[in-house]
Structure 1
């Protein structure tokens, strides 16, 4: 069960924050600028209403995750740093003399259980837009649309890269303290197999943990915890597997990629107002209406849309005219005047200059 509001902190040492934390401190400005109370409404359905015991404040836990991501800390280290970092305590709405902090495992449970089935990206984008409008930062009525290719994890090998990057960071920190440790570590791995990289990282962790004199260095502990977390926790999301949802998309007539497309719309102030993720074979122009409408739901007044030739298809031109929106896009006769019927579901890929069938296969030739 969660309470309806964040608890007000009462402490005799509350005045220390005004002395220690500057007005231009990033965390202080973020905490004073953003009202995080929307977290209660968004996560209410993920909490039990029958439990008598109150749950840990979801706003505080959500802020912990912001600190964790911003400063690249493990669960254990972000909690540990909070004990001594006054800016962290201020951001988390804790008293300056608070010493009873959460257990690091609480953050793991919060990520896995409370944020489950929550469209976090859409939520954060919408709240960012609302704040930008309220503060007078976002005032333009012109939006810019585009799409970018995103490779699937299946052939991006991001899990290996994350592990090796964190292992390298740990070794580098240790070498600055004791260069003789090179002889105790295994040779740098050249294989790209996930299983072998995991074993390499585990061997590295075992050597460091069996060397007590290294444990006194805070930076070594942080990098060690960060690597351990990648092995034990992050790999649930980074493990390579066949991605059944990914599709083949085309960058040009001769080059392709396996993955997705990220369709983004942003204001002239370079504030992203919405995004849509589709499979790789989808064309850019089909998502325009959705991007506009979701931006309007966030409070944007749209007078103009700027995009490339992919957005000049007939349906978008008609939609813009009906809604009195100026669509600035170079006309491509293959897109705007195509003769294919809607039920065919063939789409024109402006990057490749060819039509693509629903299964993602590109035409072998074209003719006017």
Structure 2
């Protein structure tokens, strides 16, 4: 049951907070800047108001979740630290002598209370509102990009993942007590997940019987992390890894298994909109949502900066209709065609035909319309004399032996493409395009400072919760820094 009017704790030891927690402490600043009551309003439909025992306040549970994200702790280690860290207790609205939750409560909160909630939009909206309120967000420019997060299991089965973490635990233990190796059971010889889980649980039991060893912080952290992984896997019905992760590509020779977060960021490096998807989703399809969500959150957008992935015809039309300046360079295929440098076919304006690298002129042309997809441009197809191609010294890689025709197709640039091609040669475009590096730096910050390089649970719902918490924390750190600089 959710208390209608939670009582405020009082303690004779409250003054310890003022004595020991500096004014510039990030948790103190975030607590003082943000009114978290919106969390209770958002989650009240997940609680009963008139039956059962009083529940832990949803605001406090959400704050536990933020602390987990900020400090990259397992549930058990988070609760343990909250027991003695005064900055944690202050942020959690607990008096110094108050008890803390059991770690299982946080697990249930994530799985039961946050399910079906669009936390990302809610939290980004609150941070943008805060930035506008404190006048640290004044630009009308957003930069868009997508960053990838690998699946918790990568391309591994759950059994392989448990095996890997169990091995890390044992290696840590051996550094402090090598003799314990003889007390561990024999390793499983099958591919059974159940056997691997049983083996790992036995390893943990053996370690925990060694009192001095299990009290070592480095050992305790590894044990708690492995326990949390085992608990998550056993909770999920799918034992085959991450069911929602999909393969995406960062380059032709670099793929990943996981998720994408599509991001819009202001010139002040505050994230104004974000969408979490599976890894195979195309960046270009989320431009409209990022722009409109940024505006819904209170930002005025008149300029959008993105890489070539966003310069599709539909996006060019959308930006023109919305009368926004679009800094996105056309893909080289549209600008230069598909031929390698030195092998281009050249257009002869006098003959109104293309000439191949060997100097042969096309003999006819036809128009090829894309009826199946109106977003694609019309093509012109040029035909060459096959008899000349058969004996041409440059035929290798150009003419396929036995082919009855030799053609060269050219996409007719749309009005939007022609206008964008001219715009991208202007000094204004080139100057604004240089600002795109800022979002690359933000992506790196999310991954390397906030642990966003890998999903900390499996499934799209878990990834969305992690993404929302990560973006909220990153925004709060940036907003706090900007306020302090004023």
State which drifts further: 310-319 or 274-283.
274-283
Deviations 1:300-338 (A, max 9, x none): 2111101122322333223223323111112349779x9
SS of the equivalent of 1:144 reads strand
In structure 1, the residue matched to 2:240 is: 241
Q: Pick the structure with greater CA Rg.
A: 2
In structure 1, the partner of 2:220 is: 221
Contact 2:305/2:328 (8 A) holds in 1: yes
Q: Which residue in 2 is equivalent to 1:23? A: 23
Query: Secondary structure at 1:156's aligned position in 2?
Result: coil
**DSSP 3-state at the match of 2:84:** coil
Once the two structures are superposed, the pairs formed by residues 164-175 of structure 1 within 5 Å of their partners are 166-167=165-166, 170-175=169-174
> For the residues of structure 2 that align with 1:108 and 1:144, how far apart are their CA atoms?
35
Instruction: Give the count of matched residue pairs.
Output: 349
Structure 1 partner of 2:373: 344
SS in 2 for 1:93: coil
Corresponding residue for residue 353 of structure 1: none
After superposition, what is the alpha-carbon deviation per residue over 1:67-107, rounded to whole angstroms, capped at 9, x for unaligned?
Answer: 23333433333333323221121111111222x43333322
Q: Distance in 1 between matches of 2:241 and 2:158?
A: 14
- 1:335-356 deviation per Cα after TM superposition (whole angstroms, max 9, x unaligned): 79x9645x638889xxxxxxxx
Deviation at 1:284, TM superposition (A): 2.5
The answer as to whether partners of 1:159 and 1:235 remain within 8 angstroms in 2 is no
Q: What are the Cα deviations for residues 249-293 of structure 1, in whole angstroms up to 9, with x where unaligned?
A: 555567766665442222223332222344555432222111100
What SS does the aligned partner of 1:327 have?
A: strand
Alignment of 1:112-261 (within 5 A): 112-148=111-147, 156-157=155-156, 159=158, 163=162, 166-167=165-166, 170-185=169-184, 197-233=196-232, 236=235, 241=240, 261=260
Which has the bigger relative contact order, CA under 8 A and spacing at least 6? 2
1:283 pairs with 2:312 = no
Corresponding position of 2:307? 308
Structure 1 residue 17 displacement after superposition: 0.8
Q: 1:319 to 1:139 in 2, by over 3 A?
A: same
Task: Output one character per residue of 1:227-250: Cα deviation in whole Å (capped at 9) or x when no partner.
Answer: 212112355469653877666655
Distance 1:235 1:296, change over 3 A: farther
Question: Residues 168 and 73 of structure 1: is their aligned pair in 2 closer, same or farther, counting only changes over 3 Å?
Answer: farther
Against the structure 1 CA distance between its residues 280 and 96, is the aligned structure 2 distance closer, same or farther, given a 3 Å change threshold?
closer
Q: Which residue of 1 aligns with 2:409?
A: 367
Using a 3 Å threshold, how does the CA distance of structure 1 residues 315 and 92 change in structure 2: closer, same or farther? same
CA distance in structure 1 between the aligned counterparts of 2:258 and 2:220, rounded to whole angstroms = 37
Distance 1:44 1:204 in 2: 42
Does 2:80 correspond to 1:80?
Answer: yes
Distance 2:258 2:218 in 1: 37
- C-alpha change, 1:250 and 1:16, in structure 2 (3 Å) is closer
Q: Which residue of 1 aligns with 2:343?
A: none
What's the CA shift for 1:195?
5.2
Task: Name whichever of 293-302 and 221-230 sits farther off.
Answer: 221-230
1:356 alignment counterpart: none
**1:57 match:** 57
CA distance in 1 between counterparts of 2:89 and 2:135 reads 29
Distance of 2:334 and 2:110 partners within structure 1: 43
Q: Distance in 1 between matches of 2:312 and 2:255?
A: 23
C-alpha contact 1:3 1:54 (8 A) present in aligned 2: yes
Q: TM-score, normalised by structure 1?
A: 0.78
Q: Gapped runs of 5+ residues in structure 1?
A: 349-364
CA root-mean-square deviation:
3.8
Aligned equivalent of 2:9? 9
Rounded to whole Å, the distance in 2 between the matches of 1:291 and 1:115 is 23
Q: Is the 8 A contact 1:304 1:327 kept in 2?
A: yes
Indicate if the aligned counterparts of 1:153 and 1:240 stay in contact, CA closer than 8 A: no
Structure 1 distance, partners of 2:242, 2:76, is: 32
Task: Give the TM-score, by structure 2 length.
Answer: 0.61
**Cα 1:269/1:237, change in 2 over 3 Å:** farther
Structure 2: runs of 5 or more not aligned: 336-367, 378-406, 411-486
Separation in structure 1 between the aligned mates of residue 216 and residue 125 of structure 2, nearest angstrom:
41
